[in-house]
Structure 1
Amino acid sequence: MELYQAKVQKLAASATLGLITTVFLGKTSDLVKLNMEARKEYGIDIKLVVDDDLNTATFMVNDSGILMEDGIVIDKASEFRNLSEKDQLNMEDRIRVMAGSSPSDKLLLLQRLKKKGQVVAVVGASSRDSPVLEEADLGYSVGELAKEASDVIIMGQKSITNIFPILGFGRCVCNNIQKFVQLQLTLNISAFTINYILLLSIMPEPIGLLELLWVNLLMDIFGVLALAQPPPITEIAMDPPKFGEKGFQYLTKTVWRNIVAQACYQVTVVLILYFKGKWILGTNQKVLEAMIFNCYVSCQVTVLINARGIQYGRMENNMFWVLVAAIVILQVAFMEIMAVLSPVGRLDLKQWALCVGIAVFSFPLGWVAK
């Protein structure tokens, strides 16, 4: 966020940034002409809500380039205030400018927008805006004037124009949260299903507590860092958040398809190896147990890569691949240490290659699920 001269005061605001659909602008005396093409690309509605008269507000509109297509200009905020709630809800989406607005008028328009499911960010420049900033889903303050009521403080000469890339940063955060939820649910659903099936069969579980702790440790630390690597301004940043009947959902149908497909594959692989591995591979029980666990961890790595996607440039991917390599190296070290300290067998190169091959097969499965 330092790149955009912004300070996030509340951690949850990092995710809320990615859900914004509407931005309230107030005084725009410090603005350069907004790049309206960028506003179109981000898919965010801009409303100019000021306490100035209509002439001054019109000048601001022309200066900032706010689009007026199919829009409504409110000469005096009292016109909107005096309407019935039903009429207010019917027109609030199309309001582009509302002149002569008091803080209570801004608050009223904000409440109507939120009631219709909009996620609203308000840019405040004075302490008078504190009630609106507190009510907004996300409160921006320009400089230090209303920082106590704000979630994000933006500073610098181009502070207003930094709003869009900051919102894009938030969309990347939301996308990374979604990917991490997918990774963790795949891991835990598959482990639970495997152990539950074998518990019902009165068979010892193939993935013990130590192994589960280890794979969760790998993914919670290195997996999180790897998923956090995409640069802020990408195609994801330009993609508006998609809201369903229940608002924004991290667990979309696509995410569930990925989870179910990968979890089913992992469960199938582990159970086949568990019950038929000796006969298929011609190996002993100790080596088989090591292969089962190694296949399971290798599958999590492919799920991580599938979740991350390869849609970014090579340079942006460098740190991601470094972290993936770190996971692989640590897994190799763990398997070698386990072979010395516990009755788990040591894998040869052929068996390692087989584990990797089984895991790699989940790549096309992930592409189909997407």
Structure 2
Amino acid sequence: FDEIWPQLRVLARAAPADKLTLANGLSRSMIYQDKEKVARLAAAGIRIFPDRQVVAMTGDGTNDAPALKRADVGFAMNLAGTQIAKDAANIILLDDNFASIVTAVKWGRNVYDSICKFLQFQLTVNIVACTVSTIGVFSHKKPVIEAVQMLWVNLIMDSLASLALASEPPTDDVLQRQPVNRSASLLSSQMLANMGGHAVYQITAMLLLYFYGADWLDITAGHGDTHHEPYGLNVTTTEECDDHGNVGKSSVHYTVIFTSFVMMTLFNELNSRKLNGEWNIFAGLHKNIAFCVIFLITFVLQVLMTQFGGDFFKTKALNGGQWGLCIALGAFSIPWQVVVNAAVRICNISRHGRRSKLPPRLPADKVHPVCVDPHLHSPGLRSARRASPTACVTQLAFTPQVCVTCHAAEPAPKLHPLR
């Protein structure tokens, strides 16, 4: 079976038993483990999926039920299909239109992308919050982000972010890429680079504000600075004091750090919309009204929480300059994404070298006349449709092949007639 199915393109007049044979054979095929055979097929222009094959089957009759059940994904017809076929299938096409299968694939890949987007966003938040809080506890015995503020981030910010990222509509671009392997990790190398790059930036910005922000902003440090009291006494506190030396429950210093963290997280939602290192993170944003609305709602909620949260949220109202700093740190996440993408591409080029998408072209006098594509160093096939428009499509896969480099003819595999 493994000698035949890589060459197979169209199976004419397939009976239900043939469909079950195909589903069984493809599901059990381990051809991807034979590296030499995969390389030979790749030279012939046939790509073998580098994992166990994923089989989709369509059917509407009772006899199709075994094949629908055996396939990884079974499609049954709603109008013309029998109830047994519907029960055996995984997806039912309500309009009996085969084009709906493409729509199902598009939405399925979009759901997978939405999960990856939220993982990329959420894990970055967790890395930064845990790292900065741990450093704050060890350095001044006080967490930088209070428990109620962490609860705000997890319950409010992340919930809205999940809704925003899940509202991304599918695009036709998802159909142009290769399927995801069964054994592939949810976190790709580009996602890990995005998480690491933004975690480094956010941690660095927050630690600079933590250790030097009070001096830069000319405010009282929130982590136990020494305040000069009347009568020459020095009092060390872990909370901010007012002009009269009274200890308060909130800190402008820590509020700036927390607000900067939320702003960097908020703007990182825009970066999390893209998973493959795209340069333009705003592409398609105008089509996603839900994302824009949730983004604005999150920003307004953060402003209200900061300005009016008071002692409950351990915050103090910020002035215009402090808000400008927080928003600027958040907005810098967007150009920082460009830096991360450039770094990933440079690393890939240095590791693998620059690879062109197509092999080098051959001179015209070196190409054998039966080759379909003169630009590929691979066997080609003479189109049967040129000689006879009514020729069976299956003949294209079983005609003799001639290599364009050595001109050595290779006989086609022997197959049983399909008719």
Give the alignment's TM-score, normalised by structure 1. 0.69
TM superposition shift of 1:181: 0.7
Q: What do residues 214-254 of structure 1 show as CA deviations (whole Å, max 9, x unaligned)?
A: 112234322122112333233234333344xx733320000
With 355-364 and 98-107 compared, the bigger mean Cα shift is at 98-107
Q: Is the 8 A contact 1:114 1:120 kept in 2?
A: no
Matched, 1:351 2:322: yes
Percentage of matched positions with identical amino acids? 31
Aligned to 1:194: 132
Partner of residue 110 from structure 1, selected from 19, 26, 43: 26
Q: What do residues 119-148 of structure 1 show as CA deviations (whole Å, max 9, x unaligned)?
A: 222223233333333333222211153222
Aligned to 1:241: 179
Matched, 1:329 2:329: no
Aligned to 1:255: 191
Distance 1:278 1:178 in 2: 38
Q: How does 1:159-170 map to 2 (within 5 A)?
A: 159-170=97-108
Q: Secondary structure at the match of 2:293?
A: helix
Aligned to 1:92: 5
Q: 1:96 to 1:297 in 2, by over 3 A?
A: same
Which structure has greater helix proportion?
A: 1
Q: What do residues 174-223 of structure 1 show as CA deviations (whole Å, max 9, x unaligned)?
A: 11111111001101111111122333435211112221221122343221
Aligned to 2:168: 230
Q: Is the 8 A contact 1:140 1:150 kept in 2?
A: yes
Q: Is the 8 A contact 2:133 2:143 kept in 1?
A: yes
Aligned to 1:276: 212
Q: Is the 8 A contact 2:27 2:54 kept in 1?
A: no
Q: How does 1:147-158 map to 2 (within 5 A)?
A: 147-157=86-96
Distance 1:253 1:315 in 2: 28
Matched, 1:132 2:67: yes
2:87 maps to a residue whose letter is E
Q: What do residues 283-323 of structure 1 show as CA deviations (whole Å, max 9, x unaligned)?
A: 12310111111011111111101111545346403322111
Distance 1:134 1:197 in 2: 55
How many residues of Structure 1 are paired with residues of Structure 2 in the alignment? 280
Distance 1:212 1:353 in 2: 23
Q: 1:236 to 1:95 in 2, by over 3 A?
A: same
Q: 1:271 to 1:311 in 2, by over 3 A?
A: closer
Partner of residue 300 from structure 1, selected from 248, 254, 265: 265
Q: Secondary structure at the match of 1:179?
A: helix
Q: 1:170 to 1:346 in 2, by over 3 A?
A: same
Q: 1:226 to 1:205 in 2, by over 3 A?
A: same
Aligned to 2:241: none
Q: Secondary structure at the match of 2:2?
A: helix
Distance 1:248 1:289 in 2: 41
2:201 maps to a residue whose letter is Y
Higher gyration radius (CA): 2
With 110-119 and 255-264 compared, the bigger mean Cα shift is at 110-119
The answer for unaligned runs of 5 or more in structure 1 is 1-87
Distance 2:30 2:137 in 1: 49
Q: Secondary structure at the match of 1:247?
A: coil
Distance 1:213 1:94 in 2: 57
Higher RCO (CA 8 Å, separation ≥ 6 residues): 1
Q: 1:313 to 1:195 in 2, by over 3 A?
A: closer
TM superposition shift of 1:346: 1.2
The answer for unaligned runs of 5 or more in structure 2 is 33-51, 223-250, 275-280, 342-419
Q: 1:142 to 1:192 in 2, by over 3 A?
A: same
Give the alignment's TM-score, normalised by structure 2. 0.61
Q: What do residues 234-277 of structure 1 show as CA deviations (whole Å, max 9, x unaligned)?
A: 3234333344xx73332000000000001111111111111222
Q: Is the 8 A contact 2:213 2:253 kept in 1?
A: yes
Query: Alignment RMSD, CA only?
Result: 2.3
